């Protein structure tokens, strides 16, 4: 129930009316970030937009997405769009990120120019389409929704390969937005 629980938490904290904005901001700030960092970046982006402040210092692709949201446009990129739609309740959206790529043995590595460190690349259009179709078909057979089967695979592979058992936004969001002393 990852997406259903996340949606319920977002509505509880921000209200139904702000759900589209909040989901887009969470998706936009999720690019190349950990779960905890995503919440921190989201808080800042939400504060900036609610207080009519300029877009702050983020990775260039996050800045571009945030400007797109502020202009009333849609997010760009299949993964980010699917992530925002899933958090808003679209049960047919499938998020194909590096964790799903790893689950299917499709993770592509590349070396970063400056650091020389290896990073995982995003899904190609063909990889995205193939994995998305598999998840939708398998979800049908298992009587699940595509977004939830995708979340189950994501959580399992992430736990197995990273050793991090924290895979849910809910507790972090509740803490971050209910603790007055948290900065």
Please report the pLDDT score of residue 30 as a whole number.
Answer: 92
Token output for 81: 């769009």
Using DSSP's 3-state secondary structure scheme, residue 181 falls into coil
| C-alpha to C-alpha distance for 38 and 50, rounded to whole angstroms | 18
pLDDT digits (tens, 9 = 90+) for 10-67: 999 999 999 999 999 999 999 888 888 898 999 999 999 999 999 999 999 999 999 9
pLDDT tens-digit profile of 79-119?
A: 999 999 999 999 999 999 989 999 999 887 777 677 777 77
DSSP state of 77: S
How confident is the model over 148-162, as a mean pLDDT? 91
Helix spans in the chain (H) = 2-14, 19-28, 35-50, 60-70, 78-87, 98-103, 125-142, 146-162, 170-178
Cβ–Cβ < 8 Å for 84, 31: no
pTM: 0.87
As a whole number of angstroms, the distance between CA 108 and CA 124 comes to: 10
């Amino acid at each position: 129930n990852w997406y259903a629980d996340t949606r319920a938490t977002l509505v509880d904290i921000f209200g139904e009316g702000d759900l589209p904005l909040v989901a887009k901001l969470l998706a936009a700030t999720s690019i190349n970030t950990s779960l905890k960092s995503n919440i921190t970046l989201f808080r800042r982006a939400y504060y900036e937009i609610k207080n009519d402040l300029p877009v702050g210092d983020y990775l260039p692709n996050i800045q571009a997405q945030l400007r797109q949201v502020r202009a009333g446009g849609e997010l760009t990129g299949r993964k980010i769009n699917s992530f925002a739609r899933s958090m808003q309740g679209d049960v047919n959206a499938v998020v194909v990120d590096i964790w799903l790529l790893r689950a299917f043995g499709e993770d592509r590595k590349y070396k970063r120019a400056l650091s020389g460190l290896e990073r995982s690349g995003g899904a190609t259009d063909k990889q995205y389409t193939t994995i998305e179709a598999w998840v939708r078909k398998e979800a049908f057979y298992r009587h699940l929704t595509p977004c939830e089967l995708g979340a189950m695979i994501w959580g399992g592979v992430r736990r197995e390969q990273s050793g991090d058992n924290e895979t849910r936004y809910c507790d972090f969001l509740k803490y971050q937005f209910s603790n007055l002393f948290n900065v």
